[in-house]
Amino acid sequence: MEFLYSYSFSPLFYIGAFALAFIVTLLITPWVKKLAFKIGAVDKPNARKVHQKIMPRLGGLAIFVGYVVGYIAFIPKNSLSLGLFLGSLVIILVGVLDDRFELSAKVKLLGQIAAAIIVVSFGFRMELLNLPFEDTPWILGWLAIPLTIFWIVGVTNAVNLIDGLDGLSAGVSGIATAVIFIMSLIMGNAFVALYSLVILGGIIAFLFFNFHPAKIFMGDTGALFLGFNLAALSLLGFKYVTFASFVIPILVLGVPLSDTFFAIVRRIVNRKPISAADKNHLHHRLMEMGLGHRGTVLTIYGISIVFGACAILLSQATMWVSFGVIVLGILALQIGAEAIGLVSSKERPVLNFLKKVFAR
């Protein structure tokens, strides 16, 4: 994917790409809202959900339309962009069908795998892996294909899991996309920067309708589409970083990935199926602490910005500084998870240890 670094665009070109996706999404969202009601793509309240009335979903279709127009008008047509576009078409189809008919988890997973395979078949893959304290990156060889598919499917589902409050998934995805845009400029990858701005324009426009109190949900159509593209973009443009490139994609997507990780641990600890739904995700726990709807969303935005800032700083830091920051970050993440009961309200090993230390 060396050819990605050969592109160069003027500032006006970037602005135009962002503005076009923004305007198209802003204009098309009210129409998508009417379409959702017309075809029955609505979200009904239940015990697990926060909203109290029937809401239209399918809002991600508006972001996708903005993306399509931006892609046609501004994105360079190469094998990678074509693969991302075709993969996005598949993932959008899966999302639309799920928003209307509520597909089974297996069918959705197959659709995600199919979209990932399409991208990989067009040359997108995790070819190198930069590990801590290793001067020479590992060449993955045949492992590149399954690892890339696993990453795309994992991130896609992680973004989908945090779609539980008005503006939450869209806002977190927007922050991650903005971080990728900044880092791609730093790394000199104009293609990724431009592609990110097209996605970001649609997200910001959609937030006018999706932030609390939301007028429309983006549904699986939006969550899967954004997760799919973030998974791909987070692996592009960072090949000249050594140690940091091992963790930068994880930090960029820190909120959805950490929430997914703790959800898996929580279900294992409580001896429940990993796929079992619950009301103990990060946003649920923060709301139970009394932060309210907007307060919870804004708090998670803040956490996302911290993750993103760390990713940007680590891309420019030395190996040992990066290592120290990562260790402290993991410790802070664990303490925070225990403090709000993200895994269990009873098992808090690190907090209990710190209490004993400071009690002496």
Containing structural domain, residue 100: 2-359
Write the burial class of residue 352 (CB in 10 Å: 0-12 exposed, 13-18 middle, 19+ buried). exposed
pLDDT at position 248: 66
| DSSP code of residue 79 | H
Backbone angles phi, psi at 43, to 5 degrees: -110, 115
Backbone angles phi, psi at 68, to 5 degrees: -60, -45
Q: Express each pLDDT in 81-115 by its tens digit.
A: 999 999 999 999 999 999 999 899 899 999 999 99
Q: Express each pLDDT in 205-246 by its tens digit.
A: 999 999 988 899 999 999 999 999 998 888 775 544 444 455
The SS3 assignment for 42 reads: strand
pLDDT at position 38: 94
* Mean pLDDT for the chain overall: 83
Q: State both tokens at 308.
A: 């993103």
Of 272 and 49, the structure prediction assigns the larger pLDDT to 272
Give the pLDDT band of residue 47 (cuts 50, 70, 90): low
Long-range interactions of 192-195: CB distance < 8 A, separation 24+: 192/4, 192/233, 192/236, 192/237, 193/9, 193/14, 194/7, 194/9, 194/13, 194/14, 194/17, 194/74, 194/75, 194/76, 195/75, 195/81, 195/84, 195/233
- Domains held by the chain: number: 1
pLDDT at position 238: 54
Model confidence at 48: pLDDT above 90: no
Of 16 and 345, the structure prediction assigns the larger pLDDT to 16
Backbone angles phi, psi at 112, to 5 degrees: -65, -40
pLDDT at position 98: 94
pLDDT at position 242: 43
Q: Express each pLDDT in 175-201 by its tens digit.
A: 999 998 998 888 888 999 999 999 999
Of 175 and 47, the structure prediction assigns the larger pLDDT to 175
Backbone angles phi, psi at 174, to 5 degrees: -65, -40
Model confidence at 153: pLDDT above 90: yes
Model confidence at 359: pLDDT above 70: no
